[in-house]
Structure 1
Amino acid sequence: MKLFPTHIRLNGRLTAVTDLLQRQVAVQPDWEKQWLNFLQEWYNQNKYIEVNTSGSTGTPKTIKLNKDFVAASAQRTIQYFNLKKGDCILHCLPTKYVAGKLMVVRALLGELDLHLVDPTTDFQFLRQKHFKFTAMVPTQVHKVLESGIWNLESLLIGGSAVPQPLVNELQSVPTQCYSSYAMTETATHIALRKLNGKNQDQFYHCLDHIKVQLSLDNCLEIFMPGLKQQPLKTNDLAELADEKTFRVLGRADNVIISGGIKFSPEQLERKLEPFISCAFSISSLPHETLGQQLILIVEGEEDEKRIRQIQTICSQQLSKYEQPKQIRFIKIFPRTENGKVMRKAL
């Protein structure tokens, strides 16, 4: 495996990396600058790359990942999706985050044909081109659904949890769709969950040489080659079938304690997702006797008819103690660049 090949295939054309490293980035669109800047970083003298966390669960931070560690992650993806030399892969993610960086590394290591597009594209170009593999965030997947063009063999969906209504829509598409369990610290995904078609599953399955366990407080812990900290403890509450198979229940730091009972917002949201079409989130407000009271926040303008509809849905789908005490409206939810709702800001 060559970490620093002399050439990369771009849009069907074999291109010398040295030519790209000399290209002036000042005149390029921002999304092109990002990937050219990363190429400079991958080929510099450092043994590591710097990556930024999204900031969805706290203050964004910059961490260093060893290039060998990043390459091993890329190689696992290449093997899992059976990517071969010359296969076309679509890069439509911002390259300033680790998921976008890994698309470039996969193309380099696997000698793949990398097609780069603006992340804000409407995906109409899919009419003319077939791709073996791509990765997207849920907002981009919605655009592909709207276009009705599925010239994709395998699709990896990450950046945030895949809502159940979106999973339902994916049942009728020919593309093999997967949800990723990933962290910046693990150089993207360590496990995948099949969302549609044959082998559809509710559990994530770890990739080669990776295993997991639960901490004393039932949070997922990860063992994988190259991690500086073994195990790497996450804040994700999980259920294990075995050391390679798990299901995510919610984040420990999102847990709401109301009247002495612990509630996971993510679990309550999953119960409601099939019935509420607009964006919403379970949150809480301080309460004199309960400590915290559950509330439901809806994205958009306040609407009495919608309030009544949601109250009816909650009464039917949630237990007595799970009922939100209030329904609030916020015009636009705070989100990270990849579309993940920033719960603390909300």
Structure 2
Amino acid sequence: MPNARELQPLEVPPGTGALDVLPELRRALDGDGPALLPVPAGEPTAAAGLAGPLAPPEDDPADPTALVIATSGSTGAAKGVLLPASALRASAAATHRRLGGPGTWLLAMPAHHVAGVQVLVRALLAGTEPHAVDITGGFRPEGFTAAAGAALAAPGRHYTALVPTQLSRLLEAGGPALTALAGFDAVLLGGAATPPALLQRARAAGVRVTTTYGMSETSGGCVYDGVPLDIAEVRIDAEDDTGPILLAGPMRARGYRHRPDAAEFDGRWFRTGDLGRMRDDRLEVLGRADDVIISGGVNIAPLPVERVLTEQPGVRESCVLGVEDPEWGQVVVAAVVPDPAEPPRPEDLRAAVRERLGPAATPKRVEFLAELPLRGPGKPDRRGLAERFGGRST
């Protein structure tokens, strides 16, 4: 390509400052100017090695690459996800169709991640003025309440997007924060698996929660409450009912920066690396294939264990992982965030898992934490937790 378009870093401030990038984001969606590489403000080297001229397979004059989202996924290896303007637009339009039409959006998470930037994209395409929560000092219920008040004052429908940890904090705060949250026509919830108990609490409190499944490679969420958006296709690549999840549709990324032959992009399908199954025409995500624990020759998916744990009284959050063990190869361990007012007993948690999922899935060790360490947009830091457990079992 004689005049290759440039991929330029775009420093995105946190909170309300993220709204300052709207003009540049609009130009990128229109193909007018360079492609943009969103990075956290003050961290211009956060996506080192990704900026520069786009190679021919990475761009198309008829459908220019608008954004490149830097993501490490679950492997820790930096990747740049090439998102054409058409993919971002298709995703935003399909979201509005599913939710009941365009509306006013409230940004409550960092906009250099795909979930945050898509909030801004949806607002631009809806022609509405987005609002943002001040998260410069961290996400706080009072900050959400103030920003939500401004967003809810606009006419029409109202939407926001959260990760489970944010939803949990707003439910715990109650009062004005919960009232504001319940005022939205839809609250998209993604970034990490949502504990069923948290979902039940939210809906019982009048919050219109919609769980989402997707990733940077699919322009964000493309499966809502287990049902694909009208542009998305889901396939389970397995002879039986459980196996790798594949996704297809116009919201799919063009590929990875500097990786024209990435195996994840298989024809028109994207191989997610997640395991799932279909239940009553709904997708049930079982977690990352890389996270499967092999203990004594038995394969254990962490997510079903986490679901059992978070259904127990006194459990707010959990993260299950495997650590090395000389006898079993790996053993199951669990990090649990308890309710300080009514903490559960570890032996009761283990008994609940044993009854529902059997002995192999039962955690050999349960450790209580004040909060789970996180990385990215609300995902538990499994690597950090594994280091904390030190590879030992008890």
What TM-score does the superposition give when structure 1 sets the normalisation length? 0.78
Q: Note closer, same or farther for the CA distance 1:237–1:311 as it changes in structure 2 (3 Å cut).
A: closer
Q: Which residue number corresponds to residue 248 of structure 2?
A: 223
Structural mapping, 1:312-327, within 5 Å = 312-327=351-366
Q: Does 1:255 align with 2:282?
A: no
Aligned-pair Cα RMSD in Å: 2.9
Q: Which residue number corresponds to residue 167 of structure 1?
A: 199
Alignment counterpart, residue 288 of structure 1, candidates 326, 338, 351: 326
In the alignment, residue 296 of structure 1 is paired with which amino acid?
Answer: A
Q: Would the aligned equivalents of 1:88 and 1:112 in 2 still touch at CA under 8 Å? A: yes
In the alignment, residue 334 of structure 2 is paired with which amino acid?
Answer: L
CA positional deviation for 1:335: 0.8
Q: Distance in 1 between matches of 2:232 and 2:354?
A: 42
Structural mapping, 1:90-101, within 5 Å = 90-101=106-117
Q: Note closer, same or farther for the CA distance 1:173–1:113 as it changes in structure 2 (3 Å cut).
A: farther
Q: Would the aligned equivalents of 1:38 and 1:101 in 2 still touch at CA under 8 Å? A: no
Q: Does 1:336 align with 2:375?
A: yes
Flag structure 2 segments of 5+ consecutive residues without an equivalent. Answer: 1-9, 35-63, 255-264, 386-394
Q: Distance in 1 between matches of 2:373 and 2:125?
A: 36
Q: Does 1:277 align with 2:315?
A: yes
Q: Which residue number corresponds to residue 120 of structure 2?
A: 104
Alignment counterpart, residue 81 of structure 2, candidates 41, 63, 73: 63
Q: Note the alpha carbon deviations across 1:133-167, whole angstroms, 9 max, x for none.
A: 11111222223322331221211111111112211
Alignment counterpart, residue 206 of structure 1, candidates 224, 228, 243: 228
Q: Would the aligned equivalents of 2:94 and 2:231 in 1 still touch at CA under 8 Å? A: no
In the alignment, residue 31 of structure 1 is paired with which amino acid?
Answer: G
Alignment counterpart, residue 131 of structure 2, candidates 115, 118, 127: 115
Q: Distance in 1 between matches of 2:75 and 2:23?
A: 28
Q: Distance in 2 between matches of 1:76 and 1:256?
A: 36
Q: Note closer, same or farther for the CA distance 1:278–1:189 as it changes in structure 2 (3 Å cut).
A: closer
In the alignment, residue 231 of structure 1 is paired with which amino acid?
Answer: W
Q: Distance in 2 between matches of 1:63 and 1:333?
A: 27
CA positional deviation for 1:280: 2.8
In the alignment, residue 340 of structure 1 is paired with which amino acid?
Answer: K
Deviates more, 1:261-270 or 1:312-321: 312-321
**SS of residue paired to 1:148:** helix
Q: Which residue number corresponds to residue 5 of structure 2?
A: none
Q: Give the count of matched residue pairs.
A: 305
In the alignment, residue 113 of structure 2 is paired with which amino acid?
Answer: Y
CA positional deviation for 1:296: 2.4
Q: Which residue number corresponds to residue 297 of structure 1?
A: 335
In the alignment, residue 182 of structure 1 is paired with which amino acid?
Answer: G
In the alignment, residue 345 of structure 1 is paired with which amino acid?
Answer: G
Q: Distance in 2 between matches of 1:234 and 1:29?
A: 29
Q: Distance in 1 between matches of 2:344 and 2:115?
A: 40
Q: Distance in 2 between matches of 1:207 and 1:264?
A: 26
Q: Note closer, same or farther for the CA distance 1:117–1:299 as it changes in structure 2 (3 Å cut).
A: closer
In the alignment, residue 209 of structure 1 is paired with which amino acid?
Answer: I
In the alignment, residue 192 of structure 1 is paired with which amino acid?
Answer: Y
Q: Distance in 2 between matches of 1:96 and 1:112?
A: 20
CA positional deviation for 1:49: 1.0
Q: Which residue number corresponds to residue 98 of structure 2?
A: 80
In the alignment, residue 224 of structure 1 is paired with which amino acid?
Answer: G
In the alignment, residue 373 of structure 2 is paired with which amino acid?
Answer: P
Alignment counterpart, residue 133 of structure 1, candidates 147, 151, 159: 159
Q: Distance in 1 between matches of 2:344 and 2:201?
A: 26
CA positional deviation for 1:316: 4.3
Q: Distance in 1 between matches of 2:91 and 2:193?
A: 21
Q: Distance in 2 between matches of 1:337 and 1:220?
A: 22
In the alignment, residue 319 of structure 1 is paired with which amino acid?
Answer: G
Q: Distance in 2 between matches of 1:171 and 1:192?
A: 16
Q: Distance in 1 between matches of 2:198 and 2:284?
A: 18
Q: Distance in 1 between matches of 2:277 and 2:367?
A: 31
- Structure 1 consecutive aligned stretches of length 4 or more whose deviation exceeds 6 Å: none
Q: Does 1:189 align with 2:189?
A: no
**SS of residue paired to 2:382:** coil
Q: Note closer, same or farther for the CA distance 1:314–1:68 as it changes in structure 2 (3 Å cut).
A: closer
Alignment counterpart, residue 43 of structure 1, candidates 27, 30, 39: 27
Q: Does 1:124 align with 2:142?
A: no
Q: Would the aligned equivalents of 2:305 and 2:353 in 1 still touch at CA under 8 Å? A: no
Q: Distance in 1 between matches of 2:357 and 2:238?
A: 28
In the alignment, residue 135 of structure 1 is paired with which amino acid?
Answer: A
**SS of residue paired to 1:297:** strand
Q: Which residue number corresponds to residue 232 of structure 1?
A: 270
Q: Percent identity?
A: 27
Q: Note closer, same or farther for the CA distance 1:192–1:306 as it changes in structure 2 (3 Å cut).
A: same
Flag structure 1 segments of 5+ consecutive residues without an equivalent. Answer: 1-24, 194-203
